[in-house]
Amino acid sequence: MEQQQRYTLGKTEKLKSAKTIEQLFKGGKSFSVAPFRVIYLFKEEQAGHLQTAFSVSKRHFKKATDRNRIKRLMREAWRLQKNELKEKLTRAGLQMNVFFIYTDKVLPDFLVIKEKIGQALKKLSDKTNENLSENS
């Protein structure tokens, strides 16, 4: 019998360390999938360890409730789709830190966020393959 896949976003998967976030912004690479700016950094510390953080500009969304809603939607879309990337990182023996910044000026709906996070995950998966081929 097959083990059921769990879709979680636990404490250890959240990027909270100021030092780690600073390293990510200094040495990380980035790409855009509208309406997101995605910054990522590979490490070889803990295999399969995938940490992420989400941010929404206060300039575009004055109300904290709007910013929190967008972040909640982003976390949910990430939680439902990240498992494939996590498995790939485990097989590769890599750790990845990812930071999503929402750059649009309109409140999105969940389907748009889910689709765009999925596209970003595909790109991150491709970047993992590139990183593996460079290191081999």
Domain parsing of the chain, residue ranges = 42-135
pLDDT band per the 50, 70, 90 thresholds, residue 44: confident
* Topology (CATH) of 42-135: Ribosomal Protein S5; domain 2 (3.30.230)
Q: Is the CA virtual torsion 17, 64, 99, 52 positive or negative?
A: positive
With DSSP H G I counted as helix, E B as strand and the rest as coil, what are the percentages for the chain, rounded to 5?
50, 20, 30
pLDDT of res. 2: 56
- Tell how far CA 15 is from the center of its chain: 10
**The residue count for the chain:** 136
State which of 11-20, 37-46, 70-79 shows the largest mean pLDDT: 70-79
Rounded-to-integer distance, Cα 45 and Cα 26, Å: 18
19-34 average pLDDT score:
96
Higher model confidence: residue 103 or residue 135? 103
pLDDT band per the 50, 70, 90 thresholds, residue 136: low
Rounded-to-integer distance, Cα 128 and Cα 12, Å: 21
Contact 33, 120 (CB under 8 A): yes
Minimum mean pLDDT range among 7-11, 62-66, 78-82:
7-11
Query: pLDDT tens, 66-107?
Result: 999 999 999 999 999 999 999 998 888 889 999 999 999 999
pLDDT band per the 50, 70, 90 thresholds, residue 62: very high
pTM of the entire predicted model: 0.91
- Tell how far CA 5 is from the center of its chain: 19
pLDDT of res. 76: 94
